[in-house]
Amino acid sequence: MEHFSQIIVNYQNGDKIYITDISGKKVTYEVVKTYTTSTSDYTYANRDTGGKRGISLSTCTNDTQSRLIIWADEV
């Protein structure tokens, strides 16, 4: 089984992420930003989405020295 970071490390702006909620509805998000930051930086969790629903995905990098962040907005 792949680690989460191995799956999302290749995401780029414009890529789609699909999440299915408990009722079976599929919600589509589009990646708007990817970046790495320090493991002590939690500012990624607070961002202005302009009123849109958005998600923030985070995981450690493969070397565990940084945090990989993916921001995506609902389309």
The fourth-level CATH superfamily of domain 4-74 is Sortase (2.40.260.10)
Q: Which residues pair with 16 in a beta bridge?
A: 30
pLDDT band of 64, cuts 50, 70, 90: confident
Query: Using one digit for the tens of pLDDT, what is the confidence trace for 9-63?
Result: 788 999 999 999 899 999 999 999 999 999 999 988 888 888 989 999 988 887 8
By C-alpha distance, which of 16, 2, 10 is closest to 68?
Answer: 10
Domain extent listing, the chain:
4-74
pLDDT value for 67: 92
Rounded CA-CA distance 7/26 in Å is 19
The reported pLDDT for the residue numbered 32 is: 95
Element (H, E) at 6: helix 4-8
pLDDT score for 54? 94
pLDDT value of position 3: 58
